[in-house]
Amino acid sequence: MLIRKPSDLAPSEITSKSVYLRRRAFLGQAVALGLVAPLLPASARSAEARKLSGRKSPFSTSEKLTPYKDVTTYNNFYEFGTGKDEPAVYAPKMKTRPWTVVVDGEVRHKGEFGIEDLLKLAPMEDRIYRHRCVEAWSMVIPWVGYPLSALIKRVEPTGRAKYVAFTTRLDRETMVGTRLPLLEWPYVEGLRLDEAMHPLALLTFGLYGEVLPNQNGAPVRIVVPWKYGFKSAKSIVRITFTEQQPKTAWNEAAPNEYGFYSNVNPHVDHPRWSQARERRIGEDGFFTPKRKTLMFNGYAEQVAGLYAGMDLRKFF
């Protein structure tokens, strides 16, 4: 009987070369599926499990990134309170697993997507976008995600679908801000179908090479960089395709201040403040004048065509 010593055993006999060469991807998938996590020490587990990145994108801006700390501690996420620092305090308590996104309305393939399925639906991309809040401040954020159009194509909207509505989770336990009737809960935002299909509209799962922190909309949100920030719904649990323009949270709350379109537009002021300029968080110092806001947040070349012939003062 031949008993092989370990040295006789070629590594390739245990692990094929192709698998060996793909070990990082394999580990990444295993991590995503939660297979490896229980085997790792807690610190490594959280660090490994949080990693998420993709290939580079030509849509990325080369502007200076807003520091991670500012991106994750200065947030508007009213479900977790109206203070900018409150989401970072309260949102971590929200559970993001298990998580499903219901797709319904005018689509051929209605159904539920587990977050694990959504993560694998299309290849991830790193996209560095400008982010302009309706409150006249802005950031530059390296998001991780893939075009929203990939999901939309998968579920095949019917001919009647003209709009898409995104519903944010309503978890009364952890979402302390929902105890006040500030907005209609759950938060709903919406896009015209052609806007949602635009290659810049990103179904987003991460930022700074990590999965989204809860306060930034974990585990899945949209990012629509040519619109004011509130249009980019966070922590999405439902995507509904409709024939009629959906009723959206801020538009319902104050229709004269927050239009359905809410494209970034320096020429159309908010009734209570100017939109001509913005403060770049983390970069513009205390004694720096605000910078000029760009039409469609600097994405006019890509998206202006969506609004050809429309009066943007009327459809603000």
Which of 61, 60, 90 shows the shortest CA–CA distance to 73? 90
Q: Which of 290, 300, 302, 307 binds other proteins (CB under 8 A)?
A: 290
Residues whose CB is less than 8 angstroms from the CB of residue 141 and which lie 6 or more positions away in sequence, other chains included: 65, 66, 71, 128, 129, 131, 207
Write out the binding residues for other proteins, residues 123-142 only, by CB under 8 A: 135, 137
Structure tokens at 168: 């944010």
- Residue from the set 31, 32, 36, 78 that interacts with other proteins by CB under 8 A: 78
Phi and psi at 137, nearest 5°, equal -125, 160
- The DSSP line for 129-146 is EEEE-TTSEEEEEEEEEE
Instruction: Select the span of 122-130, 141-149, 203-211, 275-283 touching other proteins (CB under 8 A).
Output: 275-283
Tokens at residue 266, please? 């320096």
Among 48, 63, 70, 116, binds other proteins (CB under 8 A): 70
Q: How does strand 55-56 pair with strand 125-132?
A: parallel
Does 74 bind other proteins (CB under 8 A)? Our answer is yes
For residues 244 and 163, the answer to whether their CB atoms sit within 8 Å is yes
Residue from the set 110, 243, 273, 315 that interacts with other proteins by CB under 8 A: 273
* Least distance between other proteins and beta carbon 281 (Å): 5
**Is residue 45 part of the contact set for other proteins (CB under 8 A)?**
no
Beta pairing partners, 222: 203
The nearer residue to other proteins, 73 or 174, going by C-beta atoms, is 73
Separation between Cα atoms, residue 1 and residue 236, nearest integer Å: 61
How far apart CA 281 and CA 135 sit, in angstroms, is 12
Residues whose CB is less than 8 angstroms from the CB of residue 24 and which lie 6 or more positions away in sequence, other chains included = none
Choices 25-33, 77-85, 141-149, 153-161 (CB under 8 A): range interacting with other proteins? 77-85
CB of 106 to other proteins, least distance (A): 31
| Binder among 30, 176, 281, 300 for other proteins (CB under 8 A) | 281
The structure tokens listed for 211 are 């999965």
Residue (116 or 135) nearer to other proteins, CB: 135
d(CA 87, CA 78): 8
Name residues contacting other proteins, limited to 250-269 (CB under 8 A): 253
- Minimum distance from CB of 45 to other proteins (Å)? 29
Structure-block tokens of residue 36: 């490896």
Identify whether the C-beta of residue 129 lies closer than 8 Å to the C-beta of residue 223.
Answer: yes
Residues 1-20 that bind other proteins (CB under 8 A): none
Residue 283 in the binding site for other proteins (CB under 8 A): no
The DSSP element (H or E) to which 193 belongs, if any, is helix 193-196
Q: How far is the CB of 73 from other proteins (least distance, A)?
A: 6
Based on the shown chain and the rule CB under 8 A, indicate whether residue 182 belongs to the binding site for other proteins. yes
User: Shortest approach of other proteins to residue 74 CB, angstroms?
Assistant: 3
CB 227 to other proteins: min, Å: 17
Among 45, 84, 162, 192, binds other proteins (CB under 8 A): 84
**How far, in Å, CA of 50 to CA of 71, rounded?**
16
**Contact residues: other proteins, CB under 8 A:** 69-70, 73-74, 78, 82, 84-85, 135, 137, 180, 182-183, 253, 271-274, 276, 279, 281-282, 286-287, 289-290
